[in-house]
Structure 1
Amino acid sequence: MSRIQIEGLTRRFGDVTAVDGISLDVADGEFLVLLGPSGCGKSTLLRMVAGLTPPTGGRILLDGRDITSAAPRERDLAMVFQSYALYPHLTVAKNIGFPLRTRRRRDPRIDADAKVAEVASVLGLEDLLDRRPKALSGGQRQRVALGRALVRDPGAFLLDEPLSNLDATLRTATRAELTDLHRRLRSTFVYVTHDQVEAMTMATRIAVLNGGRLEQVGTPEEVYDAPASTFVAGFIGSPAIGLLPARLSSVDGALRAVGDGVEVPLGAGEDHGRDVLVGVRPEHLRLGAGDVQFRGTVRHVENLGGEEVAHLDVGAGRIALRGPRPLDLAVGDPVALTCDPARVHLFSATGGRRLVRTPSRDTVAA
């Protein structure tokens, strides 16, 4: 197991900054997921940690040792690529054992066959060792690629969207396999994906990237329940969080966020005229009246089997209501919704950053 420290890491390609001064501390034995849309810099960041792409600035420490300029083979890190990168002419056994060839030259005592058999047992590949990659399913190839990394006994595993080539059913099963493998190995995993479900179900912590910068780092619960920005709030969660424009106002010492079809009490305080975005997740809304009020019109209803999602126009924005089927709503219906005030999120309308209550100041602050 290894601790990976990333300090101010930057990578530029000409005039384009792919990774912009990112700092991260990946704890020994952690499963950290780098999450973000295509082009956000997550794969570039991973490749810099692996030594495949040199950084423009910053440094990388592995267990306190500066490896920023070290060759990939000197980093005690194993990378699993999206394409699996298996040798088509070699059997599963030889693909898994390939990294041991160089080691055996340095140390003839290494029992490659025993090591391959051990890894194959861990990954359930014992019956496939004589097959070649073309005779394997996508999930089996993915496990062989993992086995080739595992056989090295690395300090950490770096995985670049390893499930993206699998169908939905196989992705679900393989997520569980990877999570179980991490728990058994207790190794450090750094995992790149654009899939929020993978991040939420597998990570001990999630680092959300946007435009080459770090938006937020936290547990799955933290990034979902307390998103640091409208980007994080909108990227994580399906259906997406509703964001509605409003303005802060105080009447007789009571602070409220008020907009077209929106009224949210915020308790005692003073804060006048600031534009905000009110966020609420679909599963936190319910039909009916309450202290928090959203009034809109049904635009579309989706049947998800056991649940339905109603999409509503509320003033200049949209929100979604998710609940057990049937919701008994139809297109064009006027609807009043409410929720627990603690479930409402506030963001700055200009910078998109999360706003939090500051009791000592009786106001809402960034």
Structure 2
Amino acid sequence: MKRATAKKAAASKAASTAEKTGTAVKKATAKKATAQKAVGRKATAEKAAPVKAIASKATIAVQDAVPSKTVAPKPPRNESRTALVRRARRIDRELAEVYPYAHPELDFENPFQLIVATVLSAQTTDLRVNQTTPTLFARYPTPEDLAAANPEEVEGILRPTGFFRAKTKSVIGISKALVEQFGGEVPDRLDDLVKLPGVGRKTAFVVLGNAFGRPGITVDTHFQRLVRRWKWTEETDPDKIEAAVGALFPKSDWTMLSHHVIFHGRRICHARKPACGACPIAPLCPAYGEGETDPEKAKKLLKYEKGGFPGQRIKPPQAYLDAGGIPAPPLGAG
């Protein structure tokens, strides 16, 4: 009887000891985990600090200064669809603040002038086209006039734009089609516009969005380059790029989105050497670092129109002025 009681007491004591030991181990493990989380939070905060600093500076990069020389965070490789949409729309909002005056940089007074100018802008700059079209439209103000024009005379006017023979054939062909098929009026439907000789979806959307107020995405070389750098899409075909990017934004945003992206591509995010150190969306760009990241060196890469930007009612942002505060030469990139 005494031996049974002793064994029972010993077993009870052992169980109690094991329970206390297990509790101690659990507490130690929990304490260690808490400490690790604290270290992780501290590391995350330290890592995020320069990112927040860049974000606040980059927002006013084109207005006052350039962002600090810190590598921007790259979106995760497996970025979710929701995260991509949010990042893409935030980039557009940032660009809208930087380029509130964004617009088509071709001069035009009516849909006919816009469609002709857009065709002429291929392989040349908008500035060159704007220097050429006043003479063209003064001589041939309507589709009827241009349709009946002497090709050699038109070639002489269009020579400065390059590929002048092909362009002459296109604008005269467009004019004849407008006269014969649409009563001399530029149609306001995509299906009709792309039937015109030399008119593709890009030209059609330029006309629809800016002459008729109908939303469209203009996938030119600048647009293609930037949306791929931003990882909005991996597509290379313009039609597929248009579809992929269009799915990220409300249809009502398409036209201005195109202007924002193209403005940015012409002024900051250049093909050969982007001015990363002067880019207002550096914290959101997966390609940050492909170009010049030093703020002062990047500042010298910026391009803009003489005297500011067309349609701009305020002074050019300080970041677009040279070291002496004097506007640089006219924009030279198409």
TM-score (norm 2): 0.22
TM-score (norm 1): 0.21
- Relative to its length, the structure with more strand (as a share) is 1
- Relative to its length, the structure with more helix (as a share) is 2
